Amino acid sequence: MRQLGYEVTTGVGRTGVVGVLKNGAGPTVLLRTELDALPVTENTGLPFASTVRTKDDAGNEVGVMHACGHDIHMAAWMGTARIMAANRGTWRGTLVLIGQPAEEIVSGAKAMIADGLLTRFPRPDFALAVHDDARLPSGIVGYHPGPVLANADAITITIFGRGGHGARPDATVDPIVIAARTVLALQTIVSREMSPFDPAVITVGSIHGGTKNNIIPDDVKLLLTVRSFTTPVRQHLLRSIERIAKAEATAAGAPREPKIEYGPPATALVNDSALTKRVGAALVRELGPARAKDAPQEMASEDFSEFQLAGIPTLMLRVGAVEPAKFDAAMKSGTPLPSLHSSQFWPDREPTIKTAMTAEVIALRELMPSQQAR
């Protein structure tokens, strides 16, 4: 980026990168890529599959994979950096390209903003991001005004019992049985307490307790992810989870209330309507309605919402990442395609990168028009 003429600052929010290209009077537009991968061992069988291994936060050895397609985003972002630098006559304004770390643990955007991203550098009038989509064929660009990604809460519930010999249950309070009942009761929150018109998800993604077949442990840990689009739904879900966890422990005569801990939450991502309409119209004009279309919402989450919380109109576009033949076959057979974060996620790389780059350049030129282009 330095070679292309960008003023580059590294180490923003620990490992973030900011590249600024000033090109006359005009709006300031931020375009983000993520930099991080996931602790997933790649299982695609591709000749260029990741073989990287590292230690996770808990010290376990894990494989590392770009299972969310952030490598696609980086490649497209770099291509867009080149196109914008080589064609300065086609736009006017200030381009702020950021490489953001730690998106998957929803802390990188916050860290970059805390390190002066919006004060040490030109403050953006608009913030854009593009994310690949494992539900759409390659070549497609999706946009949708309003909420597109969900609130996400990470919850750890520690259920306490009284451990002892596996052959003497009468001398114990078994936290594994309490945990099993809790997991099932939690499923009734979404199915029985929420309106079918309010999307919500409660997933228990991890359950750990015990060491051996004949020992009843002292405690069991549940790790949950909780998703919603609105604040009232979010609050209802969190209150009900607490109520059920406590009540199941009481019902079993547990010696202590469960401990409930909350990780850093992610806020629902809401695409600014005026910005989405404007960029959406430009995409339809340039690519045609067969390639640029409304994309469905998703219960996944993102820390790109930090920019909207900072008062900047934001838009996240989606680009299809599935080989069209594979997509059609899956639609016919009804077999679900591997989702993002799957060890089998295999993006249709060339068309996906090209489409992401095309969408970025169209959006940037629409928001930073040159005199001649108008």
Which helix (H) or strand (E) covers residue 136, if one does? strand 126-137
Minimal distance, residue 350 CB to Zn ion, in Å: 20
- Tell me which of 36, 125, 198, 242 is the catalytic residue: 36
Tokens 């993102």 belong to which residue?
Answer: 302
Minimal distance, residue 226 CB to Zn ion, in Å: 17
Residue nearest to Zn ion (CB): 68
> Cα(272)–Cα(276) distance, rounded to whole angstroms?
6
Q: Which is nearer to Zn ion, 68 or 266 (CB)?
A: 68
Minimal distance, residue 37 CB to Zn ion, in Å: 9
In the window 305-364, what residues touch Zn ion (CB under 5 A)? none
Query: Which CA distances in Å does 361 have to 88, 97, 194, 259, 299?
Result: 12, 12, 41, 49, 27
Q: Total residues at the site for Zn ion (CB under 5 A)?
A: 1
| 16 phi/psi in degrees, rounded to 5 | -75, 155
Q: Which residues make Cβ contacts (< 8 Å) with residue 153, sequence separation at least 6?
A: 224, 225, 226, 234, 237, 238, 262, 263, 265
Q: Which is nearer to Zn ion, 17 or 68 (CB)?
A: 68
> Cα(123)–Cα(114) distance, rounded to whole angstroms?
14
Q: Which is nearer to Zn ion, 75 or 159 (CB)?
A: 75
Minimal distance, residue 204 CB to Zn ion, in Å: 19
- Binding part of the chain for Zn ion, among 66-74, 105-113, 177-185, 351-359 by CB under 5 A, reads 66-74
Nearest to 95 by CA among 141, 10, 15, 26: 26
> Cα(313)–Cα(269) distance, rounded to whole angstroms?
11
Q: Which is nearer to Zn ion, 68 or 254 (CB)?
A: 68
Write out the DSSP string of 318-374: EEEEE-HHHHHHHHHH-PPPPPTT-TT----HHHHHHHHHHHHHHHHHHHSB-TTT-
Minimal distance, residue 359 CB to Zn ion, in Å: 16
> Cα(191)–Cα(195) distance, rounded to whole angstroms?
8
Q: Which is nearer to Zn ion, 68 or 322 (CB)?
A: 68
Q: Does 64 bind Zn ion (CB under 5 A)?
A: no
Q: Choose which of 68, 118, 141, 269 interacts with Zn ion (CB under 5 A).
A: 68
C-alpha of 100 from chain center: 13
- Binding part of the chain for Zn ion, among 67-75, 116-124, 195-203, 364-372 by CB under 5 A, reads 67-75
- Tell me which of 103, 104, 248, 303 is the catalytic residue: 103
Q: Which is nearer to Zn ion, 304 or 327 (CB)?
A: 304
Minimal distance, residue 82 CB to Zn ion, in Å: 23
Minimal distance, residue 266 CB to Zn ion, in Å: 11
- Binding part of the chain for Zn ion, among 8-16, 61-69, 184-192, 288-296 by CB under 5 A, reads 61-69
103 is catalytic: yes
> Cα(20)–Cα(332) distance, rounded to whole angstroms?
46
Residue 61, judged by CB atoms within 10 A of its CB (0-12, 13-18, 19+), counts as exposed
Nearest to 40 by CA among 264, 300, 344: 344
Q: Which is nearer to Zn ion, 68 or 159 (CB)?
A: 68
- Binding part of the chain for Zn ion, among 62-70, 121-129, 186-194, 280-288 by CB under 5 A, reads 62-70
> Cα(108)–Cα(130) distance, rounded to whole angstroms?
17
- Binding part of the chain for Zn ion, among 65-73, 87-95, 188-196, 321-329 by CB under 5 A, reads 65-73
Question: Which sequence positions are flagged as catalytic?
Answer: 36, 103
Residues in contact with Zn ion by CB under 5 A are: 68
